[in-house]
Amino acid sequence: MDKDRADRFSRPIVTIAVLGIVIGMAVMIVTVGITTGFQREVRAKVTGAGGDLQLTSISQSDPKETPRVEIDQDLYPWLDTVPGIKHIQIYATRPGIIETGEEIEGVVLKGVGTDHDWTFLRKHLEAGELPAIGDTARPIDLLLSSYHAERLRLGVDDTITVYLVRGPDDIRPRKFRISGLYKTGLEQLDHQLVYVDIAHLQRFAQWGLKAEILVSDSVKDGRVRVEGLAFGGDRVYTYDWPGTDWQGNGPHWINLPTIFDLPYRKDTLITLIVSDADRTIPDTAWVRIRADSMSALTSIGGLYPSVERIIVERGGTGGSYTKYCGGFEVALDNFADLGKMDDLVYGEYLDIHMRSLSVADRFPEIFAWLELLDTNVVVIILLMVIVAIINMTSALLIIILERTKMIGVLKALGSSSGAIRRIFLIDAAYILGIGIVLGDLLGVGLCLLQKQFGLVRLPIESYYVDAVPVSLDAGPILLLNVGTLVICVLALILPSLLVTRIAPAKAIRFD
């Protein structure tokens, strides 16, 4: 067989083998890029809306309603100084019902504080603006999902009534203004969560105590009636009146100063501290009573003035409900450290009355799906490597058969079978290298096109994203290249043993 005939025969076989490697390499790169992109995008959504870890009361039984926990914890707010932890913020959730003129919709109200990280929701904001938290100029802002806006036919700046549910017989309406609309593509978020200022939920849930002092408008015989009031907590109240011997909430009577008391018209300060049986953080209220006008009364010694009207000044701590939240959300620097950081926070920093819940525990079905994608990637890579091995084995065998005469001459000249095998393996590795490089260019090019232009679209309701996400990392691509080259070359050692079966005498006569 002359050299021209051999080349004409082997060239298309080698070309086919190279094309197979190019396509297989491109498929592997695209598969890894898409899978990594899916996992990162979906993980970013589920963690962006609720953090990597949620620290809540151990007594929580309903995922839609968070029991109270004290904000003043050893871990807050300095936990974000621990290496591996990026941010910690307070939150609370409560079931509610949105009512319009014709429709009602069940939702979960999520209260957030001024420390909330809006990066994720800002990225997925479709209309309007984010709610102003802690801003007295916009106290009733609400962030609604586009899903609920479409179902209820609502838009930005519309005013809606939200019924907050505290129990089967305790449902209270609140008015809110829609400041903006968001859309993440995750049904678990878009179909449930509505964002409001956490102060609304703190007050509504009455987690803390609120103390008030009721002072009568009228003065009787120089005395004023005072009564203690309390709200929130477990309603088993204890009233403490510092500086007096009063017991209970009253009513109690205060003797106002007369002209004979010095200094004249001095203030009377009354303080009330309310606590309850559930060890709720106490609240303090005070009133300062001052005589406003006097009236003349007759006595045996003559006339003396008595207080007729009073001025009452009020103050206090304003309620201890602001000292409670539903829990804490913790964002990590690296999702790969989720298990390690979960154990660290739970074991080192968490109060015995609290628990830690990771994002993988909150969305098990999503993470099971993401793990299944890893299995699919392994299967595709194995199939592509097997195809590459079959292609290269076929090409190598044909090349060896074409070079039978050359092998015989080399053996006749004293070359060993091992040296000749190395020649063919190096040639096969060269062909593999060409296919791998071209496959890299094709695969990376396709990924860049998809990443830049989003050519392949997806139904967001089914896949959580509206376009196929792609993530390109140099590490996995390099690993694919080296792994494919090494595995294929090792697999070609067996077919290269054909060289040892070729006898020099017969090979030289081979045609």
Q: What is the pLDDT of residue 499?
A: 65
Q: How far apart are CA 167 and CA 171, in angstroms?
A: 7
- The DSSP call for residue 67 is P
Does residue 297 register a pLDDT over 50? no
Does residue 226 register a pLDDT over 70? yes
The residue among 180, 63, 146, 41 whose CA lies nearest residue 110 is 63
Q: How far apart are CA 32 and CA 100, in angstroms?
A: 47
Per-residue model confidence as pLDDT tens digits over 141-183: 999 999 999 999 999 999 999 998 776 677 888 899 999 999 9
Q: How far apart are CA 35 and CA 375, in angstroms?
A: 10
Residue % of the chain over a pLDDT of 70 = 89
Average pLDDT of span 242-252: 90
Question: Distance of CA 497 to CAs 194, 243, 320, 469, 492, Å?
Answer: 69, 103, 83, 45, 9
- Of the CA atoms within 13 Å of residue 24, those in its CB half-sphere come to 30
Per-residue model confidence as pLDDT tens digits over 172-211: 888 999 999 999 988 888 999 999 999 999 988 889 999 9
Sheet holding 283-299, edge to edge: 237-240, 268-276, 283-299, 302-316
**Cβ distance 465 to 185 under 8 Å?**
yes
- For residue 61 the two structure tokens come to 């039984």
Q: How far apart are CA 81 and CA 78, in angstroms?
A: 6
Q: Is the dihedral of CA 87, 89, 94, 95 positive or negative?
A: negative
- The DSSP call for residue 348 is I
Q: What is the pLDDT of residue 10?
A: 65
Distance from chain centroid for Cα 253: 55
Q: What is the pLDDT of residue 293?
A: 57
Q: What is the pLDDT of residue 255?
A: 79
Residue % of the chain over a pLDDT of 90 = 45
- Helix H or strand E segment including 477: helix 474-491
Q: How far apart are CA 187 and CA 369, in angstroms?
A: 15
Q: What is the pLDDT of residue 396?
A: 80
Q: What is the pLDDT of residue 257?
A: 65
- Of the CA atoms within 13 Å of residue 355, those in its CB half-sphere come to 10
Question: DSSP letter string over 198-249?
Answer: HHHHHHHHT-SEEEEEEE-SS-BTTEEEEEEEEEETTS-EEEE-TTS---SS
Best-predicted range by mean pLDDT (65-74, 168-177, 408-417):
65-74
Per-residue model confidence as pLDDT tens digits over 484-507: 999 988 888 888 777 666 666 565
- Of the CA atoms within 13 Å of residue 423, those in its CB half-sphere come to 13
Report the C-alpha dihedral over residues 285, 286, 292, 296, rounded to 10 degrees: 110
Residue type, 420: I
- Of the CA atoms within 13 Å of residue 175, those in its CB half-sphere come to 4
**What is the 3 state secondary structure string of 245-308?**
CCCCCCCEEEECCCCCCCCCCCCEEEEEEEEECCCCCCEEEEEEEEEEEEEEEEECCEEEEEEE
Does residue 34 register a pLDDT over 80? yes
Q: How far apart are CA 272 and CA 433, in angstroms?
A: 84
Does residue 440 register a pLDDT over 60? yes
| Angle, CA of 42, 45 and 50, to the nearest 5° | 135
Q: What is the pLDDT of residue 382?
A: 92
- For residue 431 the two structure tokens come to 């062909």
Q: In the structure, what pLDDT confidence band is assigned to residue 239 with cuts at 50, 70 and 90?
A: very high
